[in-house]
Amino acid sequence: MHRFFTSDIQAHTAAVRGEDVKHISRVLRLRIGDCVQLCDGQGNECDASISAIAPDAVTFETQPWRRAKSEPDVSVTLFQCLPKAGKMETIIQKCVELGACGFVPVQSERCVVVLKPPYEGRIERWQRVSEEAAKQSRRGIVPVVALPEPLKSLDFSAFDTVLVAYENEHTVSLKQALRSGAHKTIAIVIGPEGGFSEEEIAILTTRGATSVSLGTRILRTETAGMAMLAQIMYEVEP
């Protein structure tokens, strides 16, 4: 069943606007009476049938709302140091599918890519990738892509666990870190192609991060976040 996000919700009706109107009426060729799933972007979903189609909106009659079963019990935000070329789109797409709840692009010392303001165009494109991946994977939210931040300005006060993947960590594994206690809000920090400098690791650890090993093999930056997120979900989800 097709899935759409909307915040235009009334007691027993809802409306979808914007680009999805054309997708519903012209691409999918849905008609009055056809059924879809709607999601409010806050983790709630419902079954709904089309009651009216207009050029600027598709209106639905909604069934009772329920919590989306696709949302994990743990909230994981990926702090991803900026990678080369179009890798960020792939990282966002796959990590949304795996259950990430948010993304923060990070400018670090060894990033080849340097983003300069205005950021709006790049962030809008990444946010569209997030939304499409959320629809495809039947997520209950659309993970938000935040504005880029320099590594030295990162604030982890909103998280109970902060884990940074570091190739020179040989003592603490990701599994050990995850089994050290309960985790509800997790930040994972992934370096760029050139990795983190020792100074950056020191900055992160003084702010409460735990450096962890992802194993004996060195992963590419676009692989590390996905691998780390998959392992986290396996370990903490029931």
Q: Kindly report, residue by residue over 125-184, the tens digit of the pLDDT.
A: 999 999 999 999 999 999 999 999 999 999 999 999 999 999 999 999 999 999 887 889
Give the tens place of pLDDT for each residue, 32-73. Answer: 999 999 999 999 999 999 999 999 999 999 999 999 988 998
Same domain (yes/no): 173, 126 = yes
The rounded distance, in Å, linking the Cα atoms of 138 and 140 is: 7
The rounded distance, in Å, linking the Cα atoms of 2 and 220 is: 34
Same domain (yes/no): 61, 97 = no
Same domain (yes/no): 62, 96 = no
For 52, the enclosing helix (H) or strand (E) is strand 44-54
Write out the residue range of the structural domain in which residue 11 sits: 3-67
For 67, the enclosing helix (H) or strand (E) is strand 66-67
Same domain (yes/no): 57, 134 = no
Same domain (yes/no): 137, 35 = no
Domain final residue, candidates 67, 95, 117: 67
Same domain (yes/no): 61, 155 = no
Compute CA 185 distance to the chain's CA centroid, rounded to the nearest angstrom. 13
Same domain (yes/no): 42, 90 = no
Does the predicted TM-score (pTM) go above 0.95?
no
In the chain, how many domains are there?
2
Same domain (yes/no): 62, 84 = no
Same domain (yes/no): 61, 142 = no
